Copies of this chain bind each other. A is one copy, B any other.
């Protein structure tokens, strides 16, 4: 059987969890849920099925330092910083080039760094089935998350007929990928039972990825050639990355490869999953205190419930007579925002970046 590799994509701009998250310290580098950063949790979750030397992290230049600081258990060269973000197809192509130089038939999983998954055993079991499928056949395995609500913030993948039973799990063919739907459509998807959330988790082999890139993204393929060539000659990755990576075609892997390929299959996940997209989602992972509020740090809520209150250091955050607020205090900035306006936090961060004195808080 081909060897397994894990490629964790640690990107993100740190806007939606501002002020706790910052450009150089986005969500995956924070213990938003749990006691360690989400990236650490992701690495720990895959370690039982893949040795550390087979775990790669693709991150951004601005986050590299933070990522290295919390991933000391991984080989240094396995942490790769993109000189600039070129969307997911380039990252997948880069991962395939790096793994392919080591192991031309390697099978690798692409996994987001910042999702919350409590049930590690089921996650590992699903991943192992996906690895087995991708090792046995030239397929692209998507791990589909069964929707629990009519979410409009995710893309969906619709399954076709059963394709194969792998390790007692049914893997399905894929009828189609669909973009983020409106609420009415999302409700239809939820009812149908054949749609899954596309959580950006894919398992496939180097040859499958490389041939799909060659076929469906020739421009990207041409750009990746010099990276592959440098690695084939045993050269260091960084210099060629710096030169070539910023020129790569900027396109998502969903659009570039998955939507166009006819060898995509979907494995319905059996684990719990939450992408914790913004502050309000955090509340789901904390037990409310006796006043009906959640949070961390020094806080006092007088006559109020449903609040999310995070405070750093010994700083006391007091909420009086208010419900359903997000209050986040950090050393240099505090956010106050009703839970139902959390999608506007990005706008505030953007406005901040435009202010003369705003950069320092980003």
A-side residues, CB < 8 A to B, are: 19, 298, 300, 302-303, 311, 314-322, 325, 327, 329, 332-338, 340-341, 344-345, 347-348, 351-352, 355, 357-358, 361
Contacts and interface: CB of A to CB of B under 8 A. Distances in A.
Tally of this chain's copies = 2
Given A302-B347, A348-B300, A316 B337 contact: no
30 contacts: A19-B316, A300-B348, A300-B352, A300-B358, A302-B348, A302-B351, A303-B341, A303-B344, A311-B334, A314-B332, A316-B332, A316-B352, A316-B361, A317-B336, A318-B333, A318-B334, A318-B337, A318-B352, A319-B336, A320-B335, A320-B336, A320-B337, A320-B347, A320-B348, A322-B325, A327-B334, A329-B329, A329-B334, A334-B334, A336-B336
Given A325-B336, A333-B315, A320 B345 contact: yes
Given A300-B355, A320-B337, A332 B315 contact: yes
Contacts of A303: 341, 344, 347
Contacts of A341: 303, 320-322
A285 B149 CA distance: 48
The 9 tightest CB contacts between A and B, nearest first, are A321-B341, A302-B348, A320-B337, A316-B333, A320-B348, A321-B344, A319-B336, A317-B334, A318-B335
Given A302-B348, A302-B351, A344-B303, A316 B334 contact: yes
B333 A319 contact: no
